[in-house]
Amino acid sequence: MEDISKMTSSEMFARRDATEVEIATLIGQLVFSYSRLITDLHLCVAWHGHGKELDEYGNKAEDFAAADLIRKIEEQAKLIHGDKTDCFKKYQSWAFRAHGIRKLRNTIMHSRWGIEPYGRHAIAVTTPIFVDPVIEITFTADQLRDASIECESLSRELNQLSKNCSL
């Protein structure tokens, strides 16, 4: 472990700036991977019932938040497969993880951000300015990288579930 007490101020600022660039890049990657997941959620919901209401979907799609889409997928799985089946349980497990990544993404996108002074991690402040107590969440680069990977995994799993247990 490095001794940060021996860093010069120039080294600290350089490290903090490099961490900010890395964190910003990873948040950007998360935006793209989450966007692909949202597209897959919409496609899945739009094709419920083998696409019989596909023509009307565009009129409703703007009203669906990510949470709504995930719930619709889970509800459709329950309706089609029943709540005791392996298919439903797989969708249910998938939905739990999808809600988790949705909440994480919301935290990331709606927070104020800073970098820890020594440039070791990022800090998301989830409370508005002047609100006490201040709630801070620490994010490492690895956590943000893992979030993007989880989005990609959820997309792949949803596509596979849709093939094996159609809705």
H-type alpha helices, 3-140: 9-46, 54-61, 66-81, 86-109
pTM for the full predicted model: 0.89
- The pLDDT score that the predictor gives to residue 9 is 85
Residue with tokens 């692909």: 36
Residues 6+ away with beta carbon under 8 Å from 105: 30, 34, 66, 147
pLDDT in tens, 103-151: 999 999 999 999 987 778 999 999 999 999 999 999 999 999 999 999 9
Low-confidence ranges of the chain (pLDDT < 70): 1-2
Look up residue 139 and give its DSSP letter: E
Q: Which run of H or of E encompasses 115?
A: strand 112-115
Nearest CA-CA partner of 164 in 83, 75, 87: 87
- The pLDDT score that the predictor gives to residue 1 is 57
